[in-house]
Amino acid sequence: MKKEVKMKSIKSLPAVLSVLIILILFGAFFPARTDTDKLEPNLYLNPDRGCTDILVGKKASADGSVITVHTADCGICDWTWHYIPAKNHKEGSKRKIYHINQIKTLPPEKGGKWGNYKDNYTGVSIPEIPYTFAYFHSVFGYMNEHQLAMSESTIGCRRKMRNSTPAAVMDITTLTMIAMERCSNAREAIKLMGSLAQKYGYGYHDSGEMLGVADPGEVWIFEIMPVGPLWTPESNKPGAVWCAQRVPDDHVSFCPNESRIGKIDIDNTDHFLASPNVISFAIEMGFYDLDSSEPFSFKKAYSPVAASAVSSQGRLARLWRLFDIVAPSLKFNPETPNMKLPFSVKPDKKISVKDIMAMTRDKYEGTPYDPARGILGGPFKNPNYFRSFKVDKNNYTSSRCISVNKVEYTSITQSRSWLPDAVGGLVWLAFGAQDTSCYIPLYAGITRLPISFSIGDHWVFDRRSARWAFDYADFHTQVVYSHAIEDVRKAQNKWETQALDTIPVMDKFAEKLHKQSPAAAARFLTDYCINNAESIIKAWWEMGDKLLVKYNHFQINDISNRKTRRLSMPDNWNRVIVKEEKLKPIKKRR
């Protein structure tokens, strides 16, 4: 967590000395920019940190829905999910703004993150509106009662732009939650978040961030960044720089922790929205030369990444991999620098929710970046074994897959224009690692979530927590991965296929019921979602127990027939052991 500095004590010092202290404390003194300044170190060097977003236009999806995906690849964040009901507010009331750290957590016995976030009041309040919408949130706001949906990915920015001072009132979590409360479509949300960040300053806990912002009609990539530690509201300058680009309706786009918006046309408001300083700030900071023959590029100016799948040895392979999955006919080259890959692409075939689920579970199978290739995955082909490490002063890196085992949860949102908002909005939620978890459907119109969704954290095992059910099964899968993952996939196929087949039936009945009584439809949908979620959670607890028994003592234990057989190791693994340990074969008996 960044240090909070008491501005009052600084103001009491002589003016020149105050400026010098601010410059030192908040990092405005930087050497001339080098190539390392092009990269956000925590994202580039740590392949586990960050999130992957998938954005699908309505004409690119199999059923006509607009889709966003967020793999919340944090590893230490609060994973709990919460339902915020709609609320009426008195005239003249205020909405307090809090600093909300997307990473930091607190122990459950202290009330957890969301029991304490109001301790971090910024001192700023904005006028409340008469009615705020109901929505779901976890680390960020994800979907509200009008099918406004979001996803998130940290993209970083140049160091000179970071603003960790208290003057930056808005952070990305707060912006998403205010948008969920107040907006009914994507454009409204983008304009509101942008205007709030401009007026009140953006940053503090956050640097460059990307949001996928969707409604039943369209989906946008919205990118926002701070404007440096010297910004103050009194400067009368925007406290953030931002840009949004619409994904064409028949296209798919992705964001794997990299800025995706390149050339912009701010006069084309059907496809671009931006802050008034979107270009002028880059010129002011020396990030773009107006006299240059090159057109302005948002990502090149503010968050360039000079690497490809090949040059990064798979650390930055997600963008190439996702394009190759959805449009293999275009034969994307992994040597192409990520900065030169397109903003979006028309997929070879329309994409279903089931396709999306498979994408989120992708670990580069069949590519040079497969983390379980050869002996890297150990004797049981575990894609989670091989991690970056150092040996004899040499660094070695593993691939950074789309699916990582430290993910908090993955959300797939669907906004569907042909249904009432309460029925049309869907969030498919999978807690924990995608390869061993299960997607649970949640309608936008439900009025509560399972209690187990709001319980637990990484450091306290709790059988009341939904997330721990999936981590429990995951833990018992890792030991003999190549065998146990088949048991998990059978369960995933059973429960996810059942949900995918049930949703159209639920849609029809709920739509009819909604016309008669929205409240009755809400109760119907809530009962279905909670009962289905609880059934899946129970099944995963039981599967964890069964995996423990089935593979106990590195054997395959046939429970029904009460027989055991040995788990044999693959030949390539055994050959390495023979070579490394110089083992000698047993002499054959004559």
Asked whether residue 240 falls in the same domain as residue 171, the answer is yes
Note whether 425 and 293 are same-domain residues. Answer: no
Amino acid at the residue 536: I
Does residue 578 belong to any structural domain of this protein? no
- 115/229 same-domain check: yes
What is the DSSP pairing of strand 66-71 with strand 219-225? Answer: unpaired
| pLDDT on residue 167 | 96
Name the least confident of 7-16, 350-359, 382-391: 7-16
Residue 491 domain flag: yes
Q: What is the average pLDDT across 226-235?
A: 96
CA–CA separation, 261 and 576 (whole Å) = 47
Residue 558 maps to a domain: no
Distance of CA 339 to the CA centre of its chain: 20
Pairing label, strands 241-247, 272-274: antiparallel
Pair (357, 456) in one structural domain: no
HSE-up of residue 149 (Cα within 13 Å, Cβ side):
35
Look up tokens 């957890």; give the residue.
112
Q: Are residues 438 and 352 in the same domain?
A: no
What are the tokens at 451? 């209690």
Do 358 and 425 reside in the same domain of the chain? Answer: no
Count Cα neighbours of 458 within 13 Å in the Cβ-side half-sphere: 16
Q: Return the closest-CA partner of residue 276 out of 248, 236, 232, 220.
A: 236
Residue that terminates a domain, selected from 550, 569, 585: 550
Segments of 473-554 assigned E as strands: none
Alpha-carbon span 510 to 505, nearest angstrom: 9
For residue 479, the enclosing domain spans: 419-550
Q: How many domains does the chain have?
A: 2
Which pTM was predicted? 0.91
Residue written as token pair 């270009």: 279
CB atoms within 10 A of CB 570: 13
For residue range 419-462, list pLDDT tens digits in order.
Answer: 999 999 999 999 999 999 999 999 999 999 999 999 999 999 99
pLDDT on residue 23: 41
Q: What is the pLDDT of residue 387?
A: 83
> What 3-state class would DSSP assign to 344?
strand
| Banded model confidence at residue 155, pLDDT cuts 50, 70, 90 | very high
The pLDDT of residue 555 is above 60: yes
Q: Phi, psi at residue 392, to the nearest 5°?
A: 50, 45
How far is the C-alpha of 550 from the C-alpha of 540, rounded, in Å? 15
In this predicted structure, the answer to whether residue 1 has a pLDDT above a threshold of 70 is no
Pure H helices in 313-412? 318-326, 353-360
pLDDT: is 561 or 5 the higher one? 561
Minimal CA–CA distance to 71: which of 501, 468, 435?
A: 435
Amino acid at 488: V
pLDDT tier, 519 (very low <50, low <70, confident <90, very high otherwise):
very high
Closest CA to 301 of 178, 438, 161, 433: 161
Confidence (pLDDT) at 34:
34
pLDDT at 507 exceeding the cut of 60: yes
Q: Do the Cβ atoms of 69 and 143 come closer than 8 Å?
A: no
Backbone φ/ψ region at 131: left (φ over 0), alpha (ψ -120 to 50), beta: beta
Q: Which of 208, 202, 176, 199 is nearest to 189 (CA)?
A: 176
Answer yes or no: are the C-beta atoms of 403 and 435 closer than 8 Å: yes
As a whole number, mean pLDDT of residues 231-253 equals 97
String of DSSP letters for 533-566? HHHHHHHHHHHHHHHHHHTGGGEEEETTTTEEEE
Residues 6+ apart with CB under 8 A from 514: 420, 422, 423, 445, 521
Residue 369: partners with Cβ closer than 8 Å, 6 or more residues away: 309, 314, 317, 321, 399, 401
pLDDT at 166: 95
5 CB-side CA count, 13 A: 18
Does residue 351 share a domain with residue 457?
no
Going by C-alpha positions, the residue among 69, 33, 102 that lies closest to residue 304 is 33
What mean pLDDT is reported for the chain?
A: 91
C-alpha to C-alpha distance for 198 and 190, rounded to whole angstroms? 12
How confident is the model at residue 6, as a pLDDT?
37
The answer to whether residues 353 and 436 belong to one domain is no
With contact defined as beta carbons under 8 Å apart, do 460 and 446 qualify? no
**Is residue 466's pLDDT more than 80?**
yes
- How is residue 385 written in tokens? 């074994």
Residues 428, 357: one domain? Answer: no
97 in a structural domain: yes
**pLDDT tens sequence across 311-354:** 999 999 999 999 999 999 999 999 999 999 999 999 999 999 99
Task: List the structure tokens of 289.
Answer: 């030369």
Inside any domain, residue 438: yes
Q: For 406-518, list the strands marked E by DSSP.
A: 409-415, 426-431, 440-443
| Lowest mean pLDDT, pick from 135-139, 412-416, 563-567 | 563-567
Give residue-wise pLDDT tens across range 17-64: 444 444 444 443 333 333 334 443 333 434 445 899 999 999 999 999
Listed residue (482, 481, 453, 483) closest to 468, CA to CA:
453
pLDDT of residue 201: 98
Same domain, 87 and 205: yes
In a domain, 479, yes or no: yes
Residue 372 located in a structural domain: no
Q: Which of 330, 348, 364 is the last residue of a domain?
A: 364
DSSP state of 4: P
Q: Is the separation of the CB atoms in 378 and 89 below 8 Å?
A: no
pLDDT value of position 288: 96
The answer on pLDDT for 488 being more than 60 is yes
Rg, C-alpha atoms of the chain? 25
Q: Which residue has the higher pLDDT, 58 or 397?
A: 58
d(CA 429, CA 246): 25
Residues 325 and 456 in one domain: no
Q: Are residues 425 and 357 in the same domain?
A: no
Residue 452 lies in a domain: yes
Encode 191-214: b = buried (16+ Cβ within 10 Å), e = exposed. Answer: ebbbebbbbbbbbbbbbbbbbbbb
Q: State the pLDDT at residue 292.
A: 85
